[in-house]
Amino acid sequence: MGRQALVDAAVAQLARLFGPEALTPQAVHLHDWADEAETATPADAQPASAHPTPMSTALPVPWRDRVHLAGSEFAPDFPGYLEGAVQAAEQAVYALQAQRRAHPWKR
């Protein structure tokens, strides 16, 4: 899909969600983060054949219990999907809450 087709599809979706006023935006800004050397590698340019396999959130000492990973790739279910990102975030929050309850003096 080309840039203009993507913009047109996005604007049409916004109109379905928010009404016909969304068909005439003041501006449209589209940025492909895969084009940025600081946020992507050449491997990111290859189309994915499947969603990623869930990654372990276990970290080595001293990072264990200090860093909680919450990206979509760390979701036990639905990695690579928004639902996976929500699940991973919830999992990280629950782990942090449990840690704070167990050790309230470590803040």
CA distance 45 to 23: 30
Q: pLDDT tens digits for 87-103?
A: 999 999 999 999 889 88
CA distance 32 to 4: 13
Rg (alpha carbons) of the chain, rounded to whole number: 19
Phi, psi angles (nearest 5°) of residue 64: -55, 135
CA distance 84 to 54: 9
Tokens coding 45 = 């340019």
Global pTM value: 0.56
Q: pLDDT tens digits for 8-39?
A: 999 999 999 999 999 999 999 998 888 888 88
